Amino acid sequence: MKIAVTYEDGQIFQHFGHTQQFKVYDIQDNKVVSTKIVDTMGQGHGALAMFLMIEGVNVLICGGIGMGDVKLMTACGFFLGITTGAVSLVFAYILAGMFCLPLLIFK
């Protein structure tokens, strides 16, 4: 599974459609096997769905996302999580199976 997080300075970036970078995690057997930071190259909103599909992403975590993008991303098969804070802390919870932090999951 690949998880993309809107990313800026170690934090979850708060506006999906304006993010300039994603941190992409490759998860296998409930462990992070690799990470990379990818630049969106100025793409925004609807174009980001194709961008993430090309990266092989299954799950998107972001700080905020409009309903139009929620509909687009779920129609494209992505699971969405919406939260705030440090990326590393969010992943500690995810890998521990503790989805009780303020994640709002759409699917």
pLDDT in tens, 74-100: 889 888 877 777 777 666 666 666 444
pTM greater than 0.85 (yes/no): no
**Which among 104, 4, 15 is positioned nearest to 52, based on CA atoms?**
4
Q: What is the mean pLDDT of residues 68-77?
A: 89
84's CB contacts (< 8 A; 6+ apart) are: 11, 12, 14, 63, 102
